[in-house]
Amino acid sequence: MVHAEQGLAPARVGLEYNRFYRVLSAQGEKTAELAGRVKHRATTRAELPVVGDWIAVHPRPDEETATIQAVLPRKSAFSRKVAGRVTDEQIVAANVDIVFLVSALDREFNPRRIERYLTVAWESGARPVVLLNKADLWEDVDSVVREVEASALGVPVHALSSRHGDGVDVLLGYLRPGVTIALLGSSGVGKSTLINRLLGTDLLRTGEVRSGDRKGRHTTTHRELIVLPSGGLLIDTPGMREIQLWDVEEGLQASFADVEEFAEICFYPDCRHQNEPGCAVREAVEEGHLAPERLDNYRKLQEELSHLALRQDRRAQHADKQRIKSATRLLNHHQPRR
């Protein structure tokens, strides 16, 4: 209401590239840029608009461009730590209802990677769905689906071949009007091919996986919101070489609910599930109720979160010191000279 009184109109970010945006509004597509005050008020990159964000824009007289005056509150956000040594949050997509976690059934298939994606997806606030693409390359598809279902607790798992169209029809039930779905996965898993199949046209450029190292070519180079004929919306994202965790404590609990359930009955409340007596988690592994690889991955992700928390604390301490130094310099500057 406040934004309407200021003459602003609602829009949604469809594409972002180097702080220039393509936004979708009731008046059609527009090219947009950030207002100066939006840039200066943002203390982190996570506060700037991303694909999927709802925004308030001020249309310009030519009606083909607009200025982004505000980013509206997000109902969900798929976040990860930025690659490299920088401790900062990167929001991959916002206001997503369903996350299609795409994994390829080829030599690079890794159930532990799916668990990592599920952890981040649960934390985002969106509903995850696992897609096992390139099912035509796998001999026993039913077996691998059962294996993934055992780790993706309560999450739908679908095997399909986007290249040949097998199994794709089941996804149409998710593509309802007004529902936003993000596709996430490593490079080369076939996200762009799948989107083209769902669209019924070759809108996105696709490429083969390199035969030498099985790495996919980056056919998608930016995030983009695509409106489907059904009225549903898809967010295509570039393939990720890695997805580092960012504040996913609740997501870890949801993704590893079976481990958490056994941990609740451990003898020691701070049990690390290694060699402690009375460890219900280790007992579950020994009795075959819990896969040892799953427990190992749970520990690995917990350790990664601990390192992240430590780096965040150090960063906060450094920022506090810098603020104190700046305040001291300012105070000394204004002290009367004797």
At 161, which helix (H) or strand (E)?
Answer: none
Reported as a pLDDT band with limits 50, 70 and 90, residue 270 is confident
What value does the mean pLDDT take over residues 29-34? Answer: 92
Q: Please state, rounded to an integer, the average pLDDT across all residues of the chain.
A: 83
Tell me what pLDDT residue 56 has: 95
| Residue 56, helix vs strand vs coil | strand
Strand partners, 21: 16, 32
Q: Between these two residues, 247 and 237, which has the higher pLDDT value?
A: 237
At 166, which amino acid appears? D
End-to-end CA distance of the chain: 56
List pLDDT tens digits, range 279-299.
Answer: 999 999 999 999 999 999 999
9 φ, ψ (degrees, to nearest 5): -120, 150
Tell me what pLDDT residue 338 has: 54
Q: Is the pLDDT of residue 55 over 90?
A: yes
| Residue 90, helix vs strand vs coil | strand
Give residue limits of the domains in the chain: 2-71, 77-236, 256-333
Reported as a pLDDT band with limits 50, 70 and 90, residue 80 is confident
Q: Is 330 left (phi over 0), alpha (psi -120 to 50) or beta?
A: alpha
What value does the mean pLDDT take over residues 90-95? Answer: 91
Residue 235 near residue 52 (C-beta atoms within 8 A)? yes
At 19, which amino acid appears? R
Strand partners, 68: 34, 57
Which residues have a Cβ under 8 Å from the Cβ of 18 and sit 6 or more positions away?
A: none
Q: How far is CA 106 from the centre of its chain?
A: 23
Highest mean predicted confidence (pLDDT) among 34-38, 118-122, 142-146, 248-252: 142-146
Residue 263 near residue 81 (C-beta atoms within 8 A)? no
Q: Between these two residues, 275 and 155, which has the higher pLDDT value?
A: 155
Residue 143, CA distances (Å) to 11, 98, 130, 275 in order: 45, 25, 15, 33
Reported as a pLDDT band with limits 50, 70 and 90, residue 317 is very low
Tokens 């520990």 correspond to: 299
At 110, which amino acid appears? N
Joined tokens for residue 182: 């993000």
Q: Between these two residues, 126 and 83, which has the higher pLDDT value?
A: 126
Tell me what pLDDT residue 212 has: 47
Tell me what pLDDT residue 318 has: 45
- Sign, CA dihedral 64-68-73-78, equals positive
What value does the mean pLDDT take over residues 59-69? Answer: 82
DSSP secondary structure letter of residue 311: H
Residue 94 near residue 51 (C-beta atoms within 8 A)? yes
Q: How far is CA 254 from the centre of its chain?
A: 16
97-101, 113-117, 229-233, 304-308: the lowest-pLDDT one: 304-308
CA 83, CA 90: separation in Å to the nearest integer?
9
Q: Is the pLDDT of residue 243 over 90?
A: no
Q: Is the pLDDT of residue 3 over 60?
A: yes
* CATH T-level topology, domain 2-71: OB fold (Dihydrolipoamide Acetyltransferase, E2P) (2.40.50)
Reported as a pLDDT band with limits 50, 70 and 90, residue 337 is low
**Around 50, how many Cα atoms within 13 Å sit in the side-chain half-sphere?**
23
Its CATH class, for the domain covering 77-236, is alpha beta
Q: How many residues are given for the chain?
A: 338
Tell me what pLDDT residue 17 has: 84
Tell me what pLDDT residue 213 has: 45
Instruction: Write the CATH number of the domain with boundaries 256-333.
Output: 1.10.40.50
Q: 10 Å Cβ neighbour count for 52?
A: 25
64-73, 186-195, 309-318: the lowest-pLDDT one: 309-318
Provide DSSP, 145-158.
HHHHHHHSTT--EE
Q: Is the pLDDT of residue 173 over 90?
A: yes
